[in-house]
């Protein structure tokens, strides 16, 4: 008995397939790609709405401006993404990989280009086997040129999240890219070209860790692409009008289309395999074959282990509910942090040269440096006041103008008569607020020293 390997050996030639799940993935892929390209072009208050300016360590997302000290929100966002992925995986298997993962979307886009240039699956196989001639060179150069253009556009679109889109494209058209910009664009273009054009399924089956640990999130109620072996076996070819029961055959006609359309090159009839990305292409291919032979659809389908055993799937199992609750809790916590976030950041640093000094009038002076960050998107005038020492006097600028997202260091001095203060160390509060909007304020504690 010859046992077929679980995965195709050698290069994978994906057969183009149409169908219900392919339409979902293609429409969703177009939506995600257009969203990816369009977001950096959205303007808000006269500037790019989403800009991750690494050079100035400032991330702008519409009304929200994030600085390095705000990166707890980034950690929370990653946690939300992780638990949401766990939730979806426990519910629907690897649908993220099959429908929304950028690697899959770009891989199938490159495959689509390949099919338009080099032809069908069989034509591509024959082309690769043929000797190098004018036709083969023409098709290969056309394909790789199209891939490189797509890679360059992808990389440029990605860089518009970090460099203003208008600036990046204007400099591209005028050939004025800096060395660092050119380096990152061509590096990301090379990575896109290599991943989507050559590595393809190897990124999913070898490099991506998700395929390795996904099984710990599966259970008997997880919906995965499943082959109904009880109905399909014994598999074998037959004429369309032949009676499979008379031939002692199941509904599987062994056309092998489910393998030929699989981006990972596996045979789903051999059971669940970690390479399977739950894309549903094999379902569309099998349903087409079932229609042609007049058989019932669903020989390959999304089903859980419980459904295949004739039982009902439990939608309220502990693991699924737990992932869902944790995801919602993290989303609520993230939004609560954003709502309560103070649009001003400040710190107080004492002069390290001396705790205090006595001026020519015999008064005690304590010098400080206040650092203020304007985390809003408006230019504001900030005023500084003190409290906690009724006898003290603050010497500082009347107002300090700070541009959006900018930081200013302001030297100030607190002066008091030492005989009016009983303690050698007294607590003093610095109150910083915006004149345009007093609700934008912050209080920082420090200490006043005397002899």
* CATH number of this structure's domain 344-449: 2.60.40.10
Phi (first) and psi of residue 59, to 5 degrees:
-110, 125
Give the pLDDT score at 8.
52
What is the rounded distance in angstroms from the CA atom of residue 411 to the CA atom of residue 395?
A: 9
Give the pLDDT score at 204.
86
CA angle 269, 274, 275 (to 5 degrees): 80
How many beta carbons lie within 10 A of that of residue 403, not counting itself? 11
Q: Calculate the average pLDDT of the chain.
A: 91
Q: Convert the pLDDT of each residue in 30-76 to its tens digit.
A: 999 999 999 999 998 888 999 998 888 888 888 888 888 788 888 99
Question: Residue 399: pLDDT band by 50, 70, 90 thresholds?
Answer: very high
What is the rounded distance in angstroms from the CA atom of residue 271 to the CA atom of residue 150?
A: 36
- The tokens for 115 are 């099919």
Q: Name the percent of the chain lying above pLDDT 90.
A: 70
Q: Convert the pLDDT of each residue in 150-169 to its tens digit.
A: 999 999 999 999 999 999 99
Q: Identify the burial level of 233 via C-beta atoms within 10 angstroms of its C-beta, where 0-12 means exposed, 13-18 middle and 19 or more buried.
A: middle
pLDDT(3) > 70: no
Domain coordinates in residue numbering, the chain? 1-41+93-310, 344-449
CA angle 435, 440, 442 (to 5 degrees): 110
Q: Where are the beta strands (DSSP E) in 274-332?
A: 300-303
Give the pLDDT score at 9.
62
User: Who contacts 431 (Cβ-Cβ below 8 Å, separation ≥6)?
Assistant: 384, 385, 386, 387, 441, 442, 443
Give the pLDDT score at 210.
84
Q: Name the percent of the chain lying above pLDDT 70.
A: 98
Please tell me the least confidently modeled range out of 54-58, 264-268, 302-306, 373-377: 54-58
What is the rounded distance in angstroms from the CA atom of residue 7 to the CA atom of residue 202?
A: 12
Give the pLDDT score at 121.
94
Rounded mean pLDDT, 408-435: 92
Report CA Rg, the chain: 32
Question: Residue 7: pLDDT band by 50, 70, 90 thresholds?
Answer: low
Give the pLDDT score at 2.
44
Residue 421: alpha-carbon gap to chain centroid: 57
What is the rounded distance in angstroms from the CA atom of residue 52 to the CA atom of residue 164?
A: 9
Give the pLDDT score at 54.
85
Rounded mean pLDDT, 19-30: 94
Q: Convert the pLDDT of each residue in 177-203 to its tens digit.
A: 999 999 999 999 999 999 999 999 888
Q: Please answer whether residues 235 and 254 qualify as being in contact, where contact means their C-beta atoms are separated by less than 8 angstroms.
A: yes
pLDDT(373) > 60: yes
Give the pLDDT score at 351.
79
Q: Whose CA is closest to 223, among 305, 298, 297, 281?
A: 305
Rounded mean pLDDT, 351-378: 88
Rounded mean pLDDT, 343-368: 88
Q: Please answer whether residues 188 and 159 qualify as being in contact, where contact means their C-beta atoms are separated by less than 8 angstroms.
A: yes
Q: Please answer whether residues 297 and 326 qualify as being in contact, where contact means their C-beta atoms are separated by less than 8 angstroms.
A: no
What is the rounded distance in angstroms from the CA atom of residue 35 to the CA atom of residue 126?
A: 38
Q: Convert the pLDDT of each residue in 206-254 to its tens digit.
A: 888 888 788 788 889 999 999 999 999 999 999 998 999 999 999 999 9
Q: Convert the pLDDT of each residue in 248-298 to its tens digit.
A: 999 999 999 999 999 999 999 998 888 899 999 999 999 999 999 999 999
């Amino acid at each position: 008995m010859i046992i077929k390997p679980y995965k195709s050996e050698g290069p994978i030639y994906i057969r183009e397939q149409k169908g219900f799940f392919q339409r979902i993935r293609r429409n969703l892929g177009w939506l995600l790609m257009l969203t990816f390209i369009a977001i950096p072009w959205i303007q808000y208050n006269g500037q790019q709405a989403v800009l991750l300016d690494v050079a100035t360590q400032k991330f702008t997302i519409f009304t929200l401006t994030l600085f390095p000290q705000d990166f707890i929100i980034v950690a929370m966002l990653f946690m939300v993404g992780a638990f949401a992925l766990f939730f979806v995986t426990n519910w629907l298997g690897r649908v993220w990989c099959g429908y929304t993962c950028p690697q899959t979307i770009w891989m199938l886009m490159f495959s689509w280009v390949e099919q338009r240039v080099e032809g069908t699956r069989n034509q591509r196989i024959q082309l690769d086997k043929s000797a190098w001639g004018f036709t083969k060179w023409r098709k290969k150069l056309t394909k790789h040129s199209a891939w490189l253009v797509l890679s360059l556009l992808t990389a440029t679109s990605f860089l518009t999240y970090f460099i203003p889109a208008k600036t990046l494209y204007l400099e591209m058209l005028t050939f004025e890219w800096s060395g660092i910009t050119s380096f990152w664009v061509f590096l990301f273009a090379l990575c896109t070209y290599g991943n989507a054009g050559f590595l393809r399924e190897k990124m999913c089956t070898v490099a991506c860790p998700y395929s390795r640990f996904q099984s710990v999130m599966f259970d008997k109620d997880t919906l995965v692409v499943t082959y109904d072996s009880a109905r399909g076996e014994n598999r074998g070819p037959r004429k369309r009008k032949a009676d499979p029961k008379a031939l002692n055959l199941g509904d599987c006609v062994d056309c092998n289309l489910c393998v030929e359309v699989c981006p990972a090159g596996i045979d789903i009839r051999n059971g669940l395999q970690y390479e399977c990305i739950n894309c549903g292409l094999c379902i569309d291919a099998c349903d087409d074959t079932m229609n042609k032979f007049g058989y019932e659809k669903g020989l390959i389908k999304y089903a859980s282990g419980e459904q295949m055993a004739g039982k009902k799937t439990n939608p309220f199992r502990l693991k699924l509910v737990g992932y869902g609750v944790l995801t919602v809790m993290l989303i609520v916590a993230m939004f609560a942090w954003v709502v309560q976030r103070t649009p001003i950041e400040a710190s107080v640093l004492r002069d390290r040269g001396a705790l205090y000094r006595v001026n020519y009038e015999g008064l005690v002076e304590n010098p400080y440096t206040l650092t203020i960050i304007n985390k809003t998107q408006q230019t504001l005038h900030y005023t500084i006041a003190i409290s906690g020492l009724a006898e003290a006097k603050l010497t500082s600028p009347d107002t300090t103008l700070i541009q959006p997202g900018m930081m200013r260091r302001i030297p100030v001095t607190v002066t008091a008569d030492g005989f009016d203060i009983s303690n050698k160390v007294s607590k003093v509060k610095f109150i910083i607020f915006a004149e345009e909007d007093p609700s934008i304020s912050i209080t920082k504690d420090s200490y006043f020293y005397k002899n």
